[in-house]
């Protein structure tokens, strides 16, 4: 058990650092004005051309038909080219 005493300083430093970082992280949250939050929500919910839409990802090739997996060897019913 005495051999584990060399871990105590590093554990204490680690715990203190974790608590310090957790406490500092609380400061940066800040509050958003209610009017600003309502305006942002209205813009996000509003349909129409002004709303920014991310383009849907496209693929150059069609996805291949998925073979069913039964767990046993089965001859394919259609010809694979």
Residue-wise pLDDT for 23-73, tens only, equals 887 765 667 788 988 998 998 888 766 555 555 566 677 777 777 776 777
Which single residue is written with the structure tokens 């383009």?
Answer: 55
Which of 29, 53, 51 is closest to 42 using CA atoms?
A: 51
Torsion of CA 45, 47, 50, 53, to 10 degrees: 80
DSSP 8-state secondary structure symbol assigned to residue 60: S
Interval 3-26 mean pLDDT: 90
pLDDT at 80: 61
Q: How far is CA 18 from the centre of its chain?
A: 23
The Cα–Cα gap between 20 and 22 comes to 5
The Cα–Cα gap between 14 and 8 comes to 10
């Amino acid at each position: 058990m005495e051999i584990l005493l060399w871990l105590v300083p590093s554990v204490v430093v680690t715990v203190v650092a974790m608590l310090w970082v957790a406490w500092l992280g609380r400061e940066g949250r800040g509050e958003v004005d209610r009017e600003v939050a309502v305006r942002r929500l209205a813009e996000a919910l509003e349909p129409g051309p002004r709303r920014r839409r991310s383009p849907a990802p496209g693929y150059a090739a069609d996805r291949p038909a998925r073979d069913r997996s039964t767990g046993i060897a089965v001859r394919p019913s259609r010809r694979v080219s």
